[in-house]
Amino acid sequence: MEIIRTPVEMTAWANRTLAGGQTIGLVPTMGFFHEGHLRLMRKAREKAKRTVVSLFVNPIQFGANEDLGRYPRDFVRDCQLAEGEGVDVLFAPEVQAMYPAEASTRVVVSRLTDGLCGASRPGHFAGVTTVVAKLFHIIKPHCAVFGRKDFQQLAVIERMVADLNWDIEIIGHPIVREADGLAMSSRNVYLSASERQAALCLFRAIGHARRRVRTGPVEAKVLLQEVEELLQQEAVAIEYVSLVDQTTLQPQAVFRKGAVLAMAIRVGATRLIDNDNLFEEN
């Protein structure tokens, strides 16, 4: 596996690869890999001849009071895991290489970023779309793989790609969960043993919602209230519990195909998100 540190070198590699008639699959990450990341890498290898994983803790998607400084990092371990998955290139640029002092451009997707996580994290998605746009230009992938745990992020990136007419296939990979149901996340390392147990309320809420929609008609407002009450049984702070359309992210008054239950909570100092399309098979 080759480790590339600068955008210029990365683009040169991409140009050589494309000139050789090979396709490129990209997995954008912030590192501290877990099994969820590794499955994204496997999917990219299935879809393209050469695989690039970007490892970049993107400062412009973190708010002033968020966890940029303590975000978990382990570069050596990440390199070993990526190499074990057959990744061709790990692109790990420095911040100044991605954002020179004179940089003054942001890529912004409107409307889809107003609610859910966007409501409490102003500027977050502009940071995400800007860095992803830069990665697309630098690496020139034919496809890019993102996890569906970051459900709103995936919808926003799909919208950006469609709006800007990029010829890139965006692949949403199903949520990868621990054996007890907790969605895998690099931030899970922050949780104490008791917080880890409390966080399982998200998966229990999904299970409850799935059972309710399968046993008969139920009003969305009733089920959302039931989900909130279930979450409140644990020592967590609810940020939102919403039913939204999977494409427009607009709130839905009724449960129907394409409706997604989306949740965000804080367990201690750790913010966790989860979601489920209640009408799809697990």
How far apart are the C-alpha atoms of 236 and 191, rounded to whole Å?
12
Contact (Cβ atoms closer than 8 angstroms) between residue 265 and residue 235: no
Tell me the HSE value of 282 on the side-chain side, using a 13 A CA sphere.
10
Known active-site residue 37: yes
Tell me which of 37, 124, 137, 142 is the catalytic residue: 37
The SS3 call for residue 53 is strand
Helices (H), 215-272: 220-231
Query: Dihedral of CA 155/157/162/164: which sign?
Result: positive
CA distance 54 to 31: 8
Residue with tokens 């965000």: 264
Residues 6+ apart with CB under 8 A from 23: 47, 48, 49, 50, 142, 143
Q: Which residues neighbour 154 within 8 Å (Cβ) at sequence distance 6 or greater?
A: 146, 147, 148, 170, 172
Whole-angstrom CA distances from 233 to 107, 114, 129 are 40, 29, 36
Residues involved in catalysis: 37
